[in-house]
Structure 1
Amino acid sequence: MPPVLSKILDVKQFMLKSTKRKVISGAVIAVILYLLKIRLTKSKTENMKVKRDEKKGKGNVDRMFLKRILKLLKIVIPRLNSPEILDLVLLTASLVARTFLSIYVANVNGQIVRAIIEQNLNMFLQRILKLGVVAIPASFVNSFLDYLNKSLAIRFRKRLTQHFHDIYLNDMIFYQLSNLDSRVANPDQRLTADIEKWANSLSQIYSNFSKPVLDIILFSRKLAELVGYQGPMYVILYYLISGFLLRFLSPPFGKLTAIEQRLEGDYRACHSDLVYHSEEIAFYRGHAWEKTRITNSFNNLIGHTGQIILKRLYMGVFDSMLVKYGAVMVGYAVVGLPVFGSRREEYLKSVNNDPSAITRDYVRNSSLLINLAKAIGRLVVSYKEIQQLAGYTTLVAELDEVLKDLINGKYMRTMLQSNENQPGYFAQKQSLVSMNRGQIVETENTIKFEEVPIISPNNDILAQKMTFEIQPNMNCIVTGPNGCGKSSLFRILGGLWPISSGKLYRPHIDKLFYIPQRPYLPAGTLRDQIIYPHTKLQMLRKKVTDDDLTELLRLVHLDYLVVREGGYDKCNDWNDVLSGGEKQRIAMARLFYHKPVFAILDECTSAVSMDVEATLYQTAKMLGITLFTVSHRPSLFKHHDYMIQFDGEQGWNFKKIEHSSE
């Protein structure tokens, strides 16, 4: 073959190979770009979801976090002489002791290695004995640190729980939080699991920060004496750069933690609803619908948790690369400074080029450097723990802020606002509303509504301004279609709902008593069911005996319960033990025990026979209790003298009942 033709063929073959390589390279690059596009799209979607959830509550480590954590710290550490301060002092002293013990152990380790190299049995045994002796206080200090951390967590949880209980269980705040304000969907989750996790996270933060700081100071000082100031400076500089990179790459774990806790609360609420409404759900055969709802809630929680652990996966990769393996390379460079650094000749002269001494110093410096690296590493990666604390702080602080608003008479929920351009149309908005814009005046024994409308907390008008007056012995029955405002009237009377305008004259709340259709039977004795919410001590102060309680049970035809259930001190699950009619009659016995001036009876005898019902109403009137009854049953009209009738279209009528024409 001619040389020219051969060269042409070689060039052509090279071009073909080059083209093939370009195609393969282009395909690889295209695949990489496609994967990056998928990842960026997924990240963008996740970020959009996080931003939507930010509207519900942020979990950033920012100025708001510092402001909130300082407020909560004032609650859990109220004064300088509190037990929490003593625990913190002991914790700090133990951390310092453990650091000095670590330095001492590093020295002993170096001496043990030197004894091995020199084949000195006596020195070896002495150093082993030293190590065994120091293990006793070191073991105690480590266990004591764990004990103090858990003790602090318990103290923090106790302080914060007491703080919230004092507010949440004061007057009617617990009712207002669940029924008036819409900012905290699951207060039970906030008051139990979230407070516990916040307390545990806070107690760990102190150790995880103070211990590394102490180690950095003390180990750096010791290393500077041995290898020069360049050694610890290089290590600290490397970790600062690593920390900056981790901070830049770290996802918003605080926000993700806050969202996770909300999803936990939603999932728990689904199961709570299933338990509370089990009878109605079973009657409607709603198990399939509830299964779908609970499964969706659980899947949302698991999906979000899966995203978190996936983000922790790739953050763990960066942590290991920067904090672990990168630190090893820097560490070898530092421990090699005495032999290879600028002070090499001075160091070798000081140890007389003794290999055993060099080995001893290497082992000792390595131990110190490892401890220093661990301390800086814990300090760098602890940012994730701060983010987690920020998430819990957001949830707990939000609860505190909402409770403070309720104490100040303000609540927030979705309000209905009419649109003038579109009649009959209602727009929804979130707004902070003052609790009572009307006026409540306490009287001796009079109930009087003066231009008071019945308006729900979300601004839904149920009845126009009402004006009427009820004196003692003016027994009144309230009727009307469902949803017209009958029960809402008594929510306003009892102070459960705010008054938007007008004046409400009423006696002290102790003179009002409410009995619903399904009475509340708390866990406790048979006696507790009758005297609730009094205690046995309060009953005795009232000069009421168990014999008096038996007489009350006889009035409601339940005196057989004392023998059947084994006495007044018998504890039982009364919701399961008693029938529907027995529960309602227990509630009437409770009414007779308290003898209020006014009794609000909301369909409270629907499961009782008509003859027993008549006896109960006659007994109440005989005891001087003025009846305020919500019912549609014509048989109850004869026990009342007045009627409030709602028409379901915001209208109402107050009139006297003429029994002759009934």
Structure 2
Amino acid sequence: MKHKLNQPLSLFKRFLAIAAPFWVSRQKWRALGLLATLLTLLCGVTVLNVYNSFVMGRLMDALQKEDGYLFYKLVGLYSLVVLAGTPVMVYYGYLRTKLALVWRSWLTAHLTSRYLSRLAYYRLAGDSEIDNPDERITQDVDTFCNMTVGLSISICDALFTICSFTGVLISISIPLTAAVVIYALLGSLISIWIGKKLVPLNFQHTKLEADLRYSVADVRRDFESIAFYRGEKRVRMQILRNLVASIKNLEMIMIVNRNMGFFTTGYNALVALIPLAIAAPIFFHHHMEFGALTRAGIAFGNIFAGMSLLVSQFGAISAFGANITRLGSFLEALDHHSVPSSASNHGADIITIVPSEALATEAVTVLTPDSARTLVQDLSFVLEAGSSLLIMGPSGAGKSSVLRALAGIWSFGSGTVYRPDRRDMMFLPQRPHVPVSTLRAALCYPRTLTCATDSHLLALLKLVNLSDLPVRYGGLDVEQNWRDVLSLGEQQRLSFARLLLNRPKFAVLDEATSALDDANEMRLYEQLRATGTTLISVGHRRSLLNYHDRLLTIVGDGSWSLSDAKGLTDLREPLGSKDPHDWPGRDRGSNGK
């Protein structure tokens, strides 16, 4: 029960956390200007509506008295007011959309910056509670901004309308005023009782729809793997499973909306009768003119519409609550994952990064995120400038985790990593990030498009055996989805071209040549060694020993060893296929120490 009572407060706190930063940002004056103009126009619309109610009342009196001259005069006046109000109404709607668009632009950029800062995106990838961050940053933000502006203006409109027409209705009939207040409040309470399940159902609906879209998009992303596996049946089953879950959730929403419809249909239909039923006896006794009866009906209807906003917009408000929950939980996750690790919040040890000219580790222990397994224990080494280190071991032993610790994106464990500034280091993953862009932008990534001259870029492509790319795809400035048109081996060679372009002091390669043949691998490593770059590689191929001075063996039980890579190149099988404890040249001391 306490949770239910706290739920509205929790939603309000999350709403403020999402909305408040925009109104103190650099866009605040523009936004406040739009809001002030909107409220001014809203007041104008309300004044016109009140004035029209008086004109309509007088028009009905003229009709009752058969005063043709006054009747047509009032028809003309009413028409002029409507014509004058048309541009006000149109511009009012335009500014509502404009304010939501400005807000969406800012909030999307703000969340994108938060998502991509301090490796929050990397840590969120392992958070099972935050599904589909892309959906939250794009569609959920769009929904939030449009609904916040729409509902806020609707509430202001309702307040202006209630305040304006209450005076009109009180001057005509106090019992009518009391009736509309009681009727609207009663309707709101019943609506809350009937529709209380809509907020969690709408939250689940958004998640299930996102899961369905993701499963369909997965086919386009992994089409080749699915084709090789002939996995169409399994993929279809997954898509249909997500579809069935989404449909079932929608059916539950439909049931609640159906029950709400049973109530609201009759509730709204009675509105036209209530003012007539209460005011008719007064009219029949000639204590009220026909025009006053008309004004009473108009005032009653407007006050009822304002006070019944919760009833008329209950579905939208419920969806808005689910939207706030999704965006609010996303913001909270960003706050949580923007710190080095969850361990740091509890005073536990983490792997610390210390700036240094050299690359070294001191008593570094690497753990799994749940601390259930020790991948490497007390790892210590110093990598001299211009030297090279190859890290090998069985799959799952922790080789890539060691690289992540060196990169500063894996802090689960303890010890100290001494490393140069990130600007002096470059990391090449097994599957490079190749954005949808021009070939020039793909080569320069992550630098700007002015990173090098055309001749320099073409020379780099030749060095990595990709000189045909500009010819095949129309030059350096034609945009392509390179992940789709290039093989993994070509993407890895493109990644090496970036490395040669940047010429960092230190390069860290995580199986960056796994998709290459021996000839291309040798060509790339020879080009890299010629630059004098200090090198760390992870791999399984024994051919990699030719390009490195030292070998770090990660066993998988926490132990490790350092040895000379020379003299191991005559092995007749990949080192990764042998028992690490039997590798030649291995220092058999405890934990390699």
Deviates more, 1:117-126 or 1:77-86: 77-86
Partner of 2:408: 495
Alignment of 1:473-488 (within 5 A): 473-488=386-401
Q: Distance in 2 between matches of 1:393 and 1:333?
A: 42
Residue 68 of structure 1 pairs with residue 14 of structure 2: yes
Residue 269 of structure 1 pairs with residue 188 of structure 2: no
Contact 2:162 / 2:303 at 8 angstroms: preserved in 1? yes
Contact 1:449 / 1:505 at 8 angstroms: preserved in 2? yes
Contact 1:256 / 1:308 at 8 angstroms: preserved in 2? yes
Partner of 1:531: 444
In 2 relative to 1, CA 518–77 (structure 1 residues): closer, same or farther, beyond 3 Å? same
SS in 2 for 1:569: coil
Partner of 2:521: 613
The Cα shift of 1:639 comes to 1.3
Deviates more, 1:526-535 or 1:68-77: 68-77
Contact 1:484 / 1:649 at 8 angstroms: preserved in 2? yes
Residue 330 of structure 1 pairs with residue 274 of structure 2: yes
Q: Distance in 2 between matches of 1:328 and 1:651?
A: 82
SS in 2 for 1:335: helix
Deviations 1:210-241 (Å, cap 9, x if unpaired)? Answer: 112211111110121223x3321222122223
Contact 1:183 / 1:402 at 8 angstroms: preserved in 2? no
Partner of 1:603: 511
**Out of 289, 298, 319, which is 2:243 matched to?**
298
Q: Distance in 1 between matches of 2:410 and 2:507?
A: 18
The Cα shift of 1:191 comes to 0.8
Partner of 1:448: 360
1:113 maps to a residue whose letter is M
2:528 maps to a residue whose letter is A
Q: Distance in 2 between matches of 1:97 and 1:60?
A: 38
Deviations 1:132-177 (Å, cap 9, x if unpaired)? Answer: 1111122223222322221222122223212212211224222122
**Out of 242, 252, 255, which is 1:310 matched to?**
255
Alignment of 1:59-138 (within 5 A): 62-78=8-24, 82-138=29-85
Partner of 2:104: 157
Contact 1:59 / 1:65 at 8 angstroms: preserved in 2? no
Alignment of 1:183-582 (within 5 A): 183-227=129-173, 229-322=174-267, 324-336=268-280, 338-339=282-283, 347=287, 358-411=289-342, 437-444=350-357, 446-459=358-371, 460-537=373-450, 539=451, 544-582=452-490
Q: Distance in 2 between matches of 1:611 and 1:207?
A: 67
2:205 maps to a residue whose letter is E
Q: Distance in 1 between matches of 2:342 and 2:219?
A: 28
The Cα shift of 1:205 comes to 1.2
Kindly name which structure, 1 or 2, has the bigger radius of gyration based on alpha carbons. 1
Partner of 1:652: 560
In 2 relative to 1, CA 114–400 (structure 1 residues): closer, same or farther, beyond 3 Å? same
Alignment of 1:16-35 (within 5 A): none
In 2 relative to 1, CA 334–327 (structure 1 residues): closer, same or farther, beyond 3 Å? same
Deviations 1:363-408 (Å, cap 9, x if unpaired)? Answer: 2322222222222222554455433322111111111111111223
Contact 1:212 / 1:375 at 8 angstroms: preserved in 2? yes
Q: Distance in 1 between matches of 2:569 and 2:73?
A: 111
SS in 2 for 1:473: coil
SS in 2 for 1:483: coil
1:620 maps to a residue whose letter is L
Q: Distance in 1 between matches of 2:466 and 2:331?
A: 45
In 2 relative to 1, CA 276–465 (structure 1 residues): closer, same or farther, beyond 3 Å? farther
In 2 relative to 1, CA 551–492 (structure 1 residues): closer, same or farther, beyond 3 Å? same
2:336 maps to a residue whose letter is D
1:328 maps to a residue whose letter is A
1:558 maps to a residue whose letter is L
Coordinate RMSD, CA, aligned: 2.7
2:119 maps to a residue whose letter is M
Residue 146 of structure 1 pairs with residue 146 of structure 2: no
In 2 relative to 1, CA 578–263 (structure 1 residues): closer, same or farther, beyond 3 Å? closer
The Cα shift of 1:122 comes to 2.1
2:89 maps to a residue whose letter is N
In 2 relative to 1, CA 247–658 (structure 1 residues): closer, same or farther, beyond 3 Å? closer
SS in 2 for 1:62: helix
Deviations 1:86-136 (Å, cap 9, x if unpaired)? Answer: 222222222222222122222222333333333333222212211211111
2:364 maps to a residue whose letter is V
Q: Which runs of 4+ in 1 moved over 6 A?
A: 431-436
1:594 maps to a residue whose letter is N
1:468 maps to a residue whose letter is F
Percent of paired sites with the same residue: 28
In 2 relative to 1, CA 661–230 (structure 1 residues): closer, same or farther, beyond 3 Å? closer
Q: 5+ residue gaps in structure 2?
A: 571-593
The Cα shift of 1:458 comes to 2.9
In 2 relative to 1, CA 325–577 (structure 1 residues): closer, same or farther, beyond 3 Å? closer
SS in 2 for 1:71: helix
In 2 relative to 1, CA 276–406 (structure 1 residues): closer, same or farther, beyond 3 Å? same
Q: 5+ residue gaps in structure 1?
A: 1-50, 349-357, 413-430
Q: Distance in 2 between matches of 1:299 and 1:432?
A: 40
Q: Distance in 2 between matches of 1:86 and 1:653?
A: 66
TM, length-normalised to structure 1: 0.80
2:212 maps to a residue whose letter is Y
SS in 1 for 2:413: coil
Alignment of 1:620-631 (within 5 A): 620-631=528-539
The Cα shift of 1:258 comes to 1.5
In 2 relative to 1, CA 59–498 (structure 1 residues): closer, same or farther, beyond 3 Å? farther
2:282 maps to a residue whose letter is P
2:72 maps to a residue whose letter is L
Deviates more, 1:136-145 or 1:76-85: 76-85
Contact 2:369 / 2:412 at 8 angstroms: preserved in 1? no
1:556 maps to a residue whose letter is V
SS in 2 for 1:336: helix
* Number of residue pairs matched by the alignment: 568
Q: Distance in 2 between matches of 1:59 and 1:143?
A: 41
